[in-house]
Amino acid sequence: MILKTNSWLRQFGILGMNRRNAEYIMRFNPRSSFPLVDDKLMTKRLAEAHQIPTPPLYHVIDYHGDIAGLEKVLSEIKDFVVKPARGAGGSGIVLITDHQASSFLKPSGEALSWTDLTYHIFDILSGIYSLEGLEDRALIEAFIHPDPIFAAVTYYGVPDIRIVVYRGVPVMGMVRLPTQESDGKANLHRGAIGVGVKIKDGTTSTAVHHSMVITHHPDTGHPLSDIQVPYWKEMLHIAARTFDMTGLGYLGVDMVIDRERGPLLLELNARPGLQIQVANQKGLLRHLEFIDKAPSNIFTTPETRVAWALDAFTNPKS
């Protein structure tokens, strides 16, 4: 039974955690480049240097003292996001949709007081959410107003698009839709929905919620498949360019689509999860091995890589 499942997974081309770590992350992601993606502020600056759009940054809090300047910054904006620069898996991110006086409204309707908010920021600074418990910085970023395309299948919060990029070639895509359960966050392990996106045309295919295959959004009841993701080609190009930007050969590229600004690079992940396989009902390994067999000239520029991917994944030869 175990052996059978094992050989079946291998045949189906499912990538396991061990192989991902040993054969892809350790082989293609040089340790020295990790800080570029582990620190969202560094990623943001790097992306700006490469003309890749990111959500506008309002304020950075480096030290406890910097909190004083926050009030002034916040007085000019309505909604914003607080996130730790080095947070992992969406931990420590707080969305604020509105605020008056000293009451901050979360998308769920829950209100935070000014002390609640500053306490959270102090937590971020002391490193509670950071990967190695290092002291951290808190970022105050623009609240994303998501493109209405996903409005029918989003309870609240911001859906994001994850594209796994291997050696600069987009391999697999997924839209992550927040649910009531996930508190407006797009993290699958918190209960967000993962919907597979076909690389060739950017339409959604299958969907999973807590590893269960679903067809409709549990909160809104709308169908999840065959939604055309806007700006798809543009996003494939952004994804492909992150390889040249970071030198990391195996990346998860997280993007959001803002109503006015279009696709924005949110963050990069040097250890992208494996759940994207479940969302797409496809194995990553087969695609990765397929890319390894591609002629070397296709890897020269982001454009050639995207062109190859579009062609290869339209008529899969594997």
Among 103, 211, 228, 318, binds another protein (CB under 8 A): 211
The pairing of strands 250-258 and 212-214 is: unpaired
Q: Cα–Cα distance between 60 and 48 in angstroms, integer?
A: 16
What are the residue ranges of helices labelled H in 178-299?
232-246, 275-280, 284-292
Helix/strand/coil for 169 = strand
User: Which residues are registered as beta bridge partners of 172?
Assistant: 164
> C-alpha angle with apex 100: 96 to 105, nearest 5 degrees?
30
CA dist 136 and 123 (Å) reads 9
Judged by CB under 8 A, the stretch of 97-105, 258-266, 273-281, 291-299 that binds another protein is: 273-281
Taking the C-alpha atoms of residue 263 and residue 102, their distance in angstroms, rounded to an integer, is 32
Q: How far is the CB of 303 from another protein (least distance, A)?
A: 32
Nearer to another protein, 138 or 265 (CB): 138
CB 27 within 8 A of CB 257: no
Q: Which is nearer to another protein, 152 or 213 (CB)?
A: 213
Compute the least distance from the CB of residue 71 to another protein, in Å: 18
Considering only 145, 190, 237, 286, the residue that binds another protein (CB under 8 A) is 190
- For 203-234, give the DSSP string: BEEEEEETTEEESB-TTT--B-SSPBPTTHHH
Candidates 33, 108, 126, 180: give the one binding another protein (CB under 8 A): 126
Contacting residue, 57, 128, 142, 149, with another protein by CB under 8 A: 128
Draw the binding track, 79-98, toward another protein (x: CB under 8 A; -: no contact): ----------x-x-------
Out of 79, 123, 219, 234, point to the residue binding another protein (CB under 8 A).
Answer: 123
Among 189, 222, 233, 259, binds another protein (CB under 8 A): 189
Is 213 a residue that touches another protein (CB under 8 A)? yes
- Binding part of the chain for another protein, among 75-83, 117-125, 217-225, 226-234 by CB under 8 A, reads 117-125
Q: Does 134 bind another protein (CB under 8 A)?
A: no
Nearer to another protein, 206 or 304 (CB): 206
Residues 274-313 that bind another protein (CB under 8 A): 274, 277-278, 281, 283
Spatial distance between the Cα atoms of 130 and 316, rounded to a whole number of angstroms: 40
Interacting residues toward another protein by CB under 8 A? 2, 5-6, 8-10, 12, 14, 16-19, 22-23, 89, 91, 115, 119, 122-123, 126-128, 189-190, 206, 211-213, 274, 277-278, 281, 283
